[in-house]
């Protein structure tokens, strides 16, 4: 059955690769971009299966209008992909207030708002797929990208909670967590905080990105095809890591976290109140929560 997709950030990078892959699969796309003229070639090729939608995802009133326009045009939204976003590098204390706000507004708040705008339609039709493009940086921290990763950790956590809320409604939610892919994330889409000399590790990372020598492992066209296939899977994962680099990094971090947990386990357990501990673990809510 032909599906209708709503994809943010469709004009470049992974969003464009995904838009093309969806159209090639025969589905329809409401493709959002701040400058929809960048979608003219796709509109000419795919005709009325593509609906270009002008959208700055930080204009939250416009978000709801864009979703409503899509439903009015195509009749439904089967798949939402929150893809719009950009990177930023620098020391945590160095970012300007505007840089911090713009990161959170674009990479986190907009994801939440677009999702909230689409959910009523999916709830009424009792079906839907939501793919949140997070990052391996939403599962582990890396020096130099603290604010970007704060947003992506938020996306991954929001996804995990939301997936539990809406599963009974026939809606499946996945946090797609790529490593480095050959998009312009570290190029034109990357911004930088002012430099503070003492942060040598952070500054070396910024210099690496600015130098243009960063070559990512991941292929965005392959990632796009995985995402298309994912929407047909009967039991999709809540977290999907993409790329061998990301798998290696996550494995290393899991090992470090497991070691730290065991090392500090006596301290963790020492903070329980002796009263009612058994009642807590025996309650039906706690059992369902801990065993979910």
Please give the positions annotated as active site. Answer: 134, 148, 152
What are 89's strand-pairing partners?
Answer: 192
Write b or e for each residue in 103-128: b if 16 or more Cβ atoms lie within 10 A of its Cβ, otherwise e: bbebbbbbbbbbbebbbebbeebeeb
User: What value, to the nearest 5°, has the Cα angle with vertex 243 and ends 170 and 11?
Assistant: 70
Beta-sheet pairing, 50-54 with 28-33: parallel
The tokens of 257 are what?
């976290």
100-104 contacts at long range (C-beta below 8 A, 24 or more positions apart)? 100/147, 102/58, 103/147, 103/148, 103/150, 103/151, 104/147, 104/150, 104/151, 104/154
Contacts of 73 (CB under 8 A, 6+ apart): 30, 51
The tokens of 103 are what?
């990161």
Count other Cβ atoms within 10 Å, centred on residue 219. Answer: 14
202-208 contacts at long range (C-beta below 8 A, 24 or more positions apart)? 202/89, 202/90, 202/91, 202/143, 202/144, 205/89, 205/143, 205/144, 205/145, 206/89, 206/90, 206/144
Radius of gyration of the chain (CA): 21
């Amino acid at each position: 059955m032909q599906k209708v997709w709503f994809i943010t950030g469709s004009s470049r990078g992974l969003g464009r690769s995904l838009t093309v892959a969806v159209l090639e699969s025969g589905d329809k796309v409401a493709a959002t971009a701040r400058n929809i003229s960048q979608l003219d070639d796709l509109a000419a090729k795919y005709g009325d299966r593509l609906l270009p939608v002008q959208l700055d995802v930080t204009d939250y009133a416009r978000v709801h209008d864009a979703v409503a326009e899509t439903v009015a045009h195509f009749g439904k939204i089967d798949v939402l992909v929150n893809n719009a976003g950009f990177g930023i590098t620098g020391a945590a204390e160095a970012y300007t207030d505007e840089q911090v706000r713009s990161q959170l507004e674009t990479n986190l708040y907009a994801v939440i708002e677009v999702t909230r705008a689409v959910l009523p339609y999916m709830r009424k039709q009792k079906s839907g797929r939501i793919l949140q493009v997070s990052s391996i940086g939403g599962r582990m921290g890396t020096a130099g990208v603290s604010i970007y990763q704060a947003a992506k950790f938020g996306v991954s956590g929001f996804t995990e909670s939301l997936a539990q809320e809406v599963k009974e409604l026939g809606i499946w939610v996945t946090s797609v967590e790529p490593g480095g892919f050959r998009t312009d994330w570290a190029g034109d889409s990357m911004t930088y905080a002012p430099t503070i000399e003492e942060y040598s590790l952070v500054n070396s990372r910024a210099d690496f990105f600015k130098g243009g020598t960063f070559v990512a492992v991941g292929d965005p066209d392959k990632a796009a095809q995985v995402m298309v296939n994912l929407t047909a899977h009967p039991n999709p994962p809540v977290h999907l890591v993409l790329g061998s680099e990301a798998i290696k990094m996550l494995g290393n971090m899991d090992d470090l976290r497991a070691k730290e947990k065991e090392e500090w386990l006596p301290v963790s357990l020492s903070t329980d109140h002796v009263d009612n501990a058994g009642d807590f673990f025996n309650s039906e809510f706690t059992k369902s929560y801990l065993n979910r």
